[in-house]
Amino acid sequence: MNLGEKLFKLRKSKNLTQDEAAEKLEVTRQTISKWETNQSTPDFDKIVPLCHLYGITPNELLTGEEQVEKENNENKKEMDSNQVKKHLFARGKDDDYENMTKTQIKQKSAKIVSTSIFIYIVAVAFLMIAIPIQRTNPIVATAIFLVLIGWATTRIIRHYMSIPKFEKTKEEKKEDRVIKQISGIITLFCVVIYFIVSFITFAWHITWIIFIISALLCQAVKLIFMLKGDENNEE
């Protein structure tokens, strides 16, 4: 990379126009243009101001050695981060998210969410039956309930953290907004129900389950939109 290309790249990295760079360096826009097209080189007294403007050292500007080293370090950090992520979330060939299409990931998401919802329902049903009907020790019953809830939640979090980033379409962005709005309404409604039921019955030790139901409903809404999206793709 020659000096002109380097100056052009540095200016773009700072989101500066030629006029803005010229004003800061107290030169004309034509001078900036000539520097970047290698028609001329910066005068000696402009080297330091250039370095200050672009946040680099003179050695980096003239030789590019530090820049290369910096880019190599950044690439190494990114590779290390990716390796850690793959190590933490790799779970076999069937869960190779990097090689899945967007449709396959949506189908996987629907499967994870639906099975997690089922686990949530089993956990709530178990707690409602174990203590009052089966006379199970409350501590044991609560521990089992929390393990089931934690398992279902971990599956969902682990899945969504493993999904690579895709550029969302306008339709998908609109769908996300709708899901957030519906989830917000459900959450608000459940909070109101929680306080009304709690103050009427004073069963605060039980009514908190309403928040679990709220989370279930929000996940169910997300699942419905996923399945709807799969049907549209098939059509």
Q: What is the pTM of this model?
A: 0.44
Predicted confidence at residue 212, as pLDDT, reads 77
Contact, 54 vs 14, CB < 8 A?
yes
Long-range contacts of 33-42 (CB under 8 A, 24+ apart): 35/3, 35/4, 35/7, 36/4, 36/5, 36/7, 36/8, 36/11, 37/4, 38/2, 38/3, 38/4, 41/3, 42/7
Distance from CA of residue 125 to its chain's centroid?
33
Predicted confidence at residue 103, as pLDDT, reads 76
Distance CA 160, CA 108 (A): 10
Domain ranges of the chain: 3-66, 98-166, 167-228
What are the per-10-residue average pLDDT scores of the chain (235 residues)?
83 88 88 88 84 83 58 58 48 60 78 86 85 83 88 86 74 82 88 88 78 81 73 52
The CATH architecture to which 3-66 belongs is Orthogonal Bundle (1.10)
Predicted confidence at residue 77, as pLDDT, reads 60
Widest distance between CA atoms in the chain: 88
Predicted confidence at residue 89, as pLDDT, reads 44
Predicted confidence at residue 87, as pLDDT, reads 45
Predicted confidence at residue 187, as pLDDT, reads 87
Predicted confidence at residue 38, as pLDDT, reads 86
